[in-house]
C-alpha cells in the first residue's frame, strides 16, 4: 500500500471495510491526502512493519479509530503524523516495543495532545 493515495488531495472515501490484514508496508499511504478524514478503527494492521509517512500532510485527518490499532509489530513510524495538523487521537495505549524509528513522528502535528507511554 506504499504511497497508494499520495497527493490525492480530494480523496475522502470510506475504505473502513477494506481487508488489509496481510499488508506489511503502509509507508506514505495518505501522504498529502489533505482532505482525508475517515474512521480506520476496523483495519487489522497487526502485520504492518512500516508506517513511516502514513499520514504526513493529511491535514484534516484527526485519527478516528487509530487508538484500537495493534501496532505491536511496527518497526518504522518516522514522520507518521508529521504536519497532520488535525491529528488528536489518543494512541497512548499502543504497544511500541518493536518500534525502532519514530524520528519526527509528530513534527507539526499541532493538535496532538495525548499522553504517550510504552506498554
pLDDT in tens, 1-54: 999 999 999 999 999 999 999 999 999 999 999 999 999 999 999 999 999 999
Cell 499520495 belongs to which residue? 6
Q: Domains of the chain: which residue ranges?
A: 1-12+20-119
pLDDT band at 113 (very low <50, low <70, confident <90, very high): confident
pLDDT above 80: residue 118? no
Select from 77, 68, 21 the least CA-distant residue to 49.
77
pLDDT above 90: residue 117? no
Contact 89, 113 (CB under 8 A): no
What is residue 79's predicted lDDT score, i.e. its pLDDT? Answer: 98
Q: Considering the chain, what is the average pLDDT of its residues?
A: 95
Amino acid at each position: 500500500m506504499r504511497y497508494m493515495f499520495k497527493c490525492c488531495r480530494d480523496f475522502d472515501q470510506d475504505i473502513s471495510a477494506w481487508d488489509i490484514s496481510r499488508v506489511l508496508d503502509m509507508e506514505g499511504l495518505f501522504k498529502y491526502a489533505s482532505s482525508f478524514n475517515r474512521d480506520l478503527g476496523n483495519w487489522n494492521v497487526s502485520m504492518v512493519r512500516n508506517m513511516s509517512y502514513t499520514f504526513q500532510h493529511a491535514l484534516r485527518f484527526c485519527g478516528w479509530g487509530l487508538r484500537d490499532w495493534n501496532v505491536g509489530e511496527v518497526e518504522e513510524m518516522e514522520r507518521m503524523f508529521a504536519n497532520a495538523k488535525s491529528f488528536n487521537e489518543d494512541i497512548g495505549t499502543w504497544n511500541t516495543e518493536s518500534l525502532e524509528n519514530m524520528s519526527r513522528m509528530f513534527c507539526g502535528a499541532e493538535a496532538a495532545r495525548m499522553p504517550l507511554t510504552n506498554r
